[in-house]
């Protein structure tokens, strides 16, 4: 049972079938004039229309990239370099994806100033903090739509309104929210928005940046002038075709999937919190994606829990995929203000709409068993003795185990 859909998803059969001819028969370069090139160009145009439709944009506002990371880089560096003469101050949050965070770190080395808005225990920023952070030098606000580790959804619409009033460019990384909740560039009041294909059952290595008409960015890749000079290089035609199809399917199924996933999510949260002692939900209960939950269990090492779950056939993660092979504490969970020890005991579960055979009760039982087993061995858990009653919290008749 694959429960790590925030890390990546399986390419759906419909998407794969649509891509396949563009690897073999329809291999033309879309910039050429003869028939096979024109066919590729047509396929690109259709994909661009599909991506645009999925976010209520115009096709000419969609720029294909190699994925979410490149889109974030293009948006942030593209605006920073374009507007550096106007000001060098950028506002973001302290729970952004590394593609945003490390891009901003790079800009700091070039003398840009970055304000990292705190999130509170609910994983959300406060609008008041944002208002206070804005200066005459502020050229860009970049705040992610939904967080990839805890699934919380930021008040993008409201941030966008403030940015627009103050005439500051506003970018959001919508990689996790896209396909899960409504992403409408008009309603969200954004100037730039990042998308990635492999998080929505499309192929890896493709994505797009929405750039609102009239917003200028400096390109990162110079060359033959593809994508109106914003992103040179011969287009990844099969990938883009697959991405376009994945966007079409995601928007058609959005409401149906939302209903289905959010009801599984709610049942999962309710049962885990009711069954397992000292279990907590990370991030706000209400403002969250329908498919993502992140728990923490006291006195548990997340990595050990992942391995036990894997042995029982469940693939989930602790922290994010990007940092799971390092043993560093998750910066996102740390930003919530949690005790560093508790940060290590987290479990991220991200569901896919196609996981019909997923049985919540069975899964919660497996988590419960695994958590108890690990706690039996954990010195941290044994420290939690109730010395007054001379018993631990686990055994009824314990005399200090
Ligand atoms: C996965 C992810 C990215 C990176 O997208 P890639 O296509 O893998 O480069 C960026 N932002 C968020 C929030 C993500 O979840």
Q: Is the CB of 67 under 6 A from ligand 1?
A: yes
Q: Is 322 a catalytic residue?
A: yes
What mean pLDDT comes out for the span 3-31?
97
What mean pLDDT comes out for the span 318-322?
62
Is residue 314 in a domain?
yes
pLDDT digits (tens, 9 = 90+) for 333-372: 999 999 888 888 999 999 998 877 899 999 999 999 999 9
Ligand 1 center from residue 81 Cα (angstroms):
22
Residues spanned by the domain of 328: 254-392
pLDDT digits (tens, 9 = 90+) for 47-102: 999 999 999 999 999 999 999 999 999 999 999 999 999 999 999 999 999 999 99
Query: Where on the phi/psi map is residue 167: left (φ > 0), alpha (ψ -120 to 50), or beta?
Result: left
What mean pLDDT comes out for the span 253-276?
97
Among the candidates 227, 252, 277, a domain finishes at 252
pTM to 2 decimals?
A: 0.94
Q: Is the CB of 68 under 6 A from ligand 1?
A: yes
What mean pLDDT comes out for the span 298-314?
94
Q: What is the structure's pLDDT at 399?
A: 54
- The number of distinct structural domains making up the chain is 2
Q: Are residues 121 and 168 located together in one domain of the fold? A: yes
The pLDDT-based confidence of 329 (bands split at 50, 70, 90) is: confident
Q: Is the CB of 332 under 6 A from ligand 1?
A: no
Protein residue whose Cα sits closest to atom 12 of ligand 1: 175
Ligand 1 center from residue 103 Cα (angstroms):
13
The pLDDT-based confidence of 282 (bands split at 50, 70, 90) is: very high
Ligand 1 center from residue 174 Cα (angstroms):
9
Q: Which sign does the torsion angle of CA 380, 386, 388, 390 carry?
A: negative
Is residue 8 in a domain?
no
What mean pLDDT comes out for the span 216-229?
98
Ligand 1 binding pocket mutation candidate from 199, 201, 209, 320 (most atoms within 8 A of CB)? 199
pLDDT digits (tens, 9 = 90+) for 18-30: 999 999 999 999 9
Q: Are residues 87 and 221 located together in one domain of the fold? A: yes
**Ligand 1 atom at shortest distance from the alpha carbon of 197:** 7
Is residue 2 in a domain?
no
**Ligand 1 atom at shortest distance from the alpha carbon of 199:** 1
What's the CATH number where 263 sits?
A: 3.90.1150.10
**Ligand 1 atom at shortest distance from the alpha carbon of 69:** 9
**Ligand 1 atom at shortest distance from the alpha carbon of 68:** 5
Is residue 317 in a domain?
yes
Protein residue whose Cα sits closest to atom 8 of ligand 1: 68
**Ligand 1 atom at shortest distance from the alpha carbon of 204:** 7
pLDDT digits (tens, 9 = 90+) for 137-190: 999 999 999 999 999 999 999 999 999 999 999 999 999 999 999 999 999 999
Ligand 1 center from residue 296 Cα (angstroms):
23
Protein residue whose Cα sits closest to atom 14 of ligand 1: 175
Q: Is the CB of 69 under 6 A from ligand 1?
A: yes
Q: What is the structure's pLDDT at 52?
A: 98
Q: Are residues 273 and 235 located together in one domain of the fold? A: no
What's the CATH number where 68 sits?
A: 3.40.640.10
SS3 sequence, the chain? CECECCCCCCCCHHHHHHHHHHCCCCCCCCCCCCHHHHHHHHHHHHHHHHHHHHCCCCHHHEEEECCHHHHHHHHHHHHHHHHCCCCCEEEEECCCCHHHHHHHHHHHCCCCEEEEECCCCCCCCCHHHHHHHCCCCEEEEECCCECCCCCEECCHHHHHHHHHHCCCEEEEECCCCECCECCCHHHHCCCEEEEECCCCCCCCCCEEEEECCCCCCCCCECCCCCHHHCECCCCCHHHHHHHHHHHHHHHHHHHHHHHHHHHHHHHHHHHHHHHCCCEEECCCCCCECCCEEEEEECCCCHHHHHHHHHHCCCECECCCHHHCCCCCCCHHHHHCCCCHHHHCCEEEEECCCCCCCCCHHHHHHHHHHHHHHHHHHCHHHHCCCECCCCECCCCCCCCCC
Q: Are residues 219 and 264 located together in one domain of the fold? A: no
Protein residue whose Cα sits closest to atom 10 of ligand 1: 68
Protein residue whose Cα sits closest to atom 4 of ligand 1: 68
Ligand 1 center from residue 167 Cα (angstroms):
27
Is residue 302 in a domain?
yes
Is residue 6 in a domain?
no
Q: Are residues 164 and 64 located together in one domain of the fold? A: yes
Q: Are residues 265 and 288 located together in one domain of the fold? A: yes
Q: Is the CB of 175 under 6 A from ligand 1?
A: yes
Ligand 1 center from residue 73 Cα (angstroms):
11
Q: Are residues 279 and 165 located together in one domain of the fold? A: no
Is residue 275 in a domain?
yes
Among the candidates 217, 252, 287, a domain finishes at 252
Q: Are residues 226 and 265 located together in one domain of the fold? A: no
Ligand 1 center from residue 199 Cα (angstroms):
8
Is residue 306 in a domain?
yes
Q: Are residues 66 and 166 located together in one domain of the fold? A: yes
Q: Are residues 236 and 283 located together in one domain of the fold? A: no
Q: Which of 322, 392, 398, 401 is catalytic?
A: 322
Q: Are residues 180 and 264 located together in one domain of the fold? A: no
Q: Are residues 282 and 176 located together in one domain of the fold? A: no
Among the candidates 205, 227, 252, a domain finishes at 252
């Amino acid at each position: 049972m694959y429960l790590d859909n925030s890390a990546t998803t399986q390419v759906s059969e419909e998407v794969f079938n649509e891509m396949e001819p563009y690897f073999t028969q329809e291999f033309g370069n879309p910039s050429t004039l003869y028939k096979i090139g024109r066919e590729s160009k047509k396929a690109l145009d259709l994909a661009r229309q599909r991506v645009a439709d999925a976010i209520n944009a115009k096709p000419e506002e969609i720029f294909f990239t190699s994925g979410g990371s490149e889109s974030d880089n293009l948006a942030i560096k593209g605006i920073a370099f374009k507007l550096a003469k106007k000001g060098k101050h950028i506002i973001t949050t302290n729970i952004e994806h590394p593609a945003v965070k490390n891009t901003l770190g790079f800009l700091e080395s070039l003398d840009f100033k970055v304000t990292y808005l705190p999130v509170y225990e609910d994983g959300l920023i406060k609008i008041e903090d944002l208002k206070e952070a804005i200066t005459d030098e502020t050229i860009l606000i970049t705040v992610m739509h939904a967080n990839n580790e805890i699934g919380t959804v930021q008040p993008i619409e409201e941030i966008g309104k403030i940015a627009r009033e103050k005439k500051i460019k506003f970018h959001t990384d919508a990689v996790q929210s896209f396909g899960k909740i409504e992403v409408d560039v008009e309603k969200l009041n954004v100037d730039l928005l990042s998308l990635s294909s492999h998080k929505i059952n499309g192929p890896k290595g493709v994505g797009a940046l929405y750039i609102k008409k009239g917003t200028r960015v400096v390109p990162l890749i110079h060359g033959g002038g593809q994508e109106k000079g914003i992103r040179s290089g011969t287009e990844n035609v099969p990938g883009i075709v697959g991405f376009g199809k994945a966007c079409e399917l995601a928007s058609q199924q959005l409401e149906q999937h939302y209903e289905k996933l959010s009801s599984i999510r709610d049942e999962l949260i309710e049962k885990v919190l009711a069954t397992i002692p000292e279990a907590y939900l990370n991030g706000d209960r209400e403002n969250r994606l329908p498919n993502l939950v992140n728990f923490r269990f006291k006195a548990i090492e997340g990595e050990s829990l992942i391995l036990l779950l894997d042995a029982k056939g469940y693939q989930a993660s602790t922290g994010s995929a990007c940092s799971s092979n390092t043993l560093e504490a998750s910066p996102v969970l740390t930003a919530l203000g949690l005790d560093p020890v508790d940060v290590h005991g987290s479990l991220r579960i991200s569901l896919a709409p196609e996981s019909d055979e997923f049985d919540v009760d069975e899964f919660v039982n497996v988590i419960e068993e695994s958590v108890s087993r690990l706690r039996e061995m954990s010195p941290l858990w044994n420290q939690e003795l109730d010395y007054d009653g001379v018993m631990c919290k686990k055994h009824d008749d314990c005399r200090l185990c």
